[in-house]
Amino acid sequence: MNARAVPVWDLWPGGIEWQPMSPKLRTVWVLRSLLNVLILAVAAAVPLTIWLGWDGLLWALGGYVLLAGLRALAVSRTVRTWGYAEREQDLLVRHGLLTRRLSIVPYGRIQLIDLSAGPIERMFGLTTVQVRTAALGSNTEVPGLDPLVAAALRDRLAVRAAEVREGL
């Protein structure tokens, strides 16, 4: 059982040096999940109040605290699983707590590199790098990077993509 608990990416032959995401990413994602649960709690509070009177509000609040706590715990553990690595020929991105995903994008196949930042991300000064290839389903994200790190990564990827361009 113990051997099977090892994440799939740690079995990669040769070992990889994973770059961690910005430590602020955890704060951002926990905040975001708290907001999402809050919306849910508000939506649930209305019928609960009609049904139980003012006790309903208390129930909604209690439910919110419980759910938000669990969610925050899960999210903060998930953030730790994110990581990326630049190898000689390809970019590796790993993530996922329950379902684990390891994406490998060769530099030569990169078609498009996007930088994006949502409102909460911007408040904390974080940027997401998105890498696309010609395969429509494969949209690889590297979230939660410092803007300068993200821009540097984007430039490095672009240079490498132009150097080793491969076709479809």
Using the rule CB under 8 A, give the single segment among 3-11, 33-41, 48-56, 58-66 that binds another protein: 3-11
Residue 65 CB, nearest approach to another protein (Å): 26
Each residue of 111-142: b (16+ CB within 10 Å) or e? Answer: eebeeebeeebeeeebbbbebbbeeeeeebbb
Phi-psi category of residue 155: left, alpha or beta, with phi > 0 → left and psi -120 to 50 → alpha: alpha
Residue 64 CB, nearest approach to another protein (Å): 26
| Residues 6+ positions from 164 with CB-CB distance below 8 Å | 89, 106, 107, 108
168 binds another protein (CB under 8 A): yes
Query: Closest CB to another protein among 7 and 47?
Result: 7
Please provide the DSSP assignment of 22-65 as one string: PTHHHHHHHHHHHHHHHHHHHHHHHHHHHHHTTHHHHHHHHHHH
Query: Closest CB to another protein among 60 and 91?
Result: 91
Site string for another protein, 93-132 (x = CB under 8 A): ---x-xxxxxxxxx-xx-----x------xxxx-x-----
Binding site for another protein (CB under 8 A): 3-5, 8-9, 11-14, 89-90, 96, 98-106, 108-109, 115, 122-125, 127, 133-138, 140, 147-148, 150-151, 154-155, 158-159, 161-162, 165-168
